[in-house]
Amino acid sequence: MKRIVVLIGGSGSNLEAILQAIQKNHLPLTCAKVISHKPDVLGLKRAQRYQVPTQVIDHLSFAIQDDFEQALIKAIHEVSPDWIVLAGFMRILSSHFIAQFPDKIINIHPSLLPKFRGLNTHKRAIEAQENFHGATVHLVTPELDAGPIIAQARLTMNQDDTPQTLQSRVLSLEHKLYPLVLNWLALGRLTLKDNSILFEEKPIPKQGFMIELNSQEIAS
């Protein structure tokens, strides 16, 4: 069975969606460890509920970013994961870190990249009067939120959407999208190689796959 490590820093609702899919035998993976860069976050409790080993590497206890990353690298190597899954991990990782794990780090971002890299994506989508908004799973490269896109899921923006309603609607998409992409990886349908993405051995579309999730199931 292939192994993942999930890196979190907060609520861990994506982590829970992944652990639930594993528990229900919908996702043939082992989650070897959950690492949080913040102590006492809800995500750690969620991991414990699923009997997944947890580790806190508190970024605030390191004066130097390099030392924080070295501790992280060591903690990850200890469990030799096939993939490193970022799920609300709110630290920017250096190119040195990323080079330790080529083609192995994936992230979920709450916007339809390349739109709205960085923070406050929901507020910015409303301000830009977008018709669509959503979430993206991508390969992590040194440029923030700019790695090759694997897949996206979208919703139609409502007139009365606020950053809060969008956050919860987009999270509902994320909770389906991330396990789906991980399932492709686990089954060997999706391959990450030399910074590019192959699906059943063929290059995927440049913008990744647009997954149409049943909008009825997305609370609005």
* 110 touches ligand GRF (CB under 6 A): yes
Annotated active-site residue 59? The verdict is no
* 47 touches ligand GRF (CB under 6 A): no
Q: Binding ligand GRF by CB under 6 A: which of 88, 134, 147, 208? A: 88
Q: Which tokens hold the place of 93?
A: 């990782």
* 10 touches ligand GRF (CB under 6 A): yes
Phi then psi for residue 173, to 5 deg, are -65, -45
* 94 touches ligand GRF (CB under 6 A): no
DSSP, collapsed to helix, strand or coil, labels residue 121 as helix
* 109 touches ligand GRF (CB under 6 A): yes
64, burial (CB in 10 Å: exposed 0-12, middle 13-18, buried 19+)? exposed
* 14 touches ligand GRF (CB under 6 A): yes
Phi then psi for residue 176, to 5 deg, are -95, -40
Q: Which of 4, 74, 16 is nearest to 45 (CA)?
A: 16
**Secondary structure of the chain: what % helix, strand, coil (to 5)?**
35, 25, 40
Residue closer to ligand GRF by CB (options 117, 198) is: 117
| Interface region with ligand GRF, contact rule CB under 6 A, candidates 21-29, 108-116, 143-151, 202-210 | 108-116
* 93 touches ligand GRF (CB under 6 A): no
Rounded distance, CA 183 to CA 162, Å?
A: 32
Residue closer to ligand GRF by CB (options 87, 190) is: 87
Choosing from 26, 37, 59, 109, the catalytic residue is 109
* 108 touches ligand GRF (CB under 6 A): yes
Total residues interacting with ligand GRF, rule: CB under 6 A: 16
CB 134 within 8 A of CB 164: no
Residues that bind ligand GRF (CB under 6 A): 8, 10-15, 43, 87-88, 108-110, 135, 171, 174
Active site residues: 109
